[in-house]
Amino acid sequence: MTTSLSNSVRYRAVRERNRKFDGVFYFAKTTGTYCRPSCPAPHPLQAEYTFFDTASEAVSCGYQTCGRCCLDTSKGDLSLVILDSIDAGVINDRGVNGFADTLHMSERQLRRIIRRVTGSSPLHFNQEKRIDAAKQLITCTKLPITDIAFSVGFSSIRQFNIVFKDVFNITPREMRKNNSVHILEKNSDDPTSSIKSSI
């Protein structure tokens, strides 16, 4: 939720339908939808507002886009909402069709927008994001491979290994082993490494 703006400022922006705050924060209604401050629809009582920094944050909490304001935006803004939501894992949680439903659009329309922005299908783009995140965790952390597979949204370690090898032509364990060897070799070439290790 937002912290940079006081509640009184946000309430006033919503009451005045101030467009200057569009994209700065969103507010959610008890009807299950979230809106921009400039939304022309009737507003609920002040006590019923819930504020979010980003649209993807609202989506991840189960709110749907308002048909009167959030989709009446530029294609660029809508694309950012979609990409932010994919980053937040919405396709892992709801699937492509479920994601389209939260945006009040057809699955075909969602696929067309994602392909225009990324050049990939929703599933392929989501898979690329998951695999890239997994690679970072494998090379930069000591987390177990199984934990990494599930944390990036794969339902089985077998599926994760297959997809990972298809993308990088190497298994996750082989990548971690190679990365560890590379780090050891780099340290052995560093004349200060023995000094650092003794400190």
Residue pair 96/110 in contact by the 8 Å Cβ criterion: yes
Interior angle at CA 117, CA 114 and CA 120, nearest 5 = 55
CATH number of residue 156's parent domain: 1.10.10.60
User: Residue 41 is part of which domain span?
Assistant: 7-119
Give the type of residue at 33: T
Residue in the structure block whose two tokens are 């294609």:
75
Reduce the DSSP state of residue 52 to 3 states and report it. Answer: strand
Tens of pLDDT, residues 51-92: 888 777 787 788 877 767 754 444 556 777 788 788 778 888
Helix (H) or strand (E) holding 188: helix 172-189
pLDDT level of residue 145 (50, 70, 90 thresholds): very high
Tens of pLDDT, residues 24-58: 788 887 778 888 888 887 776 666 788 888 777 78
**Does residue 14 sit in the same domain as residue 107?**
yes
Among the ranges given (43-57, 86-100, 130-144), the one the predictor scored with the smallest mean pLDDT: 43-57
The pTM assigned to this predicted structure is 0.51
Does a structural domain hold residue 48?
A: yes
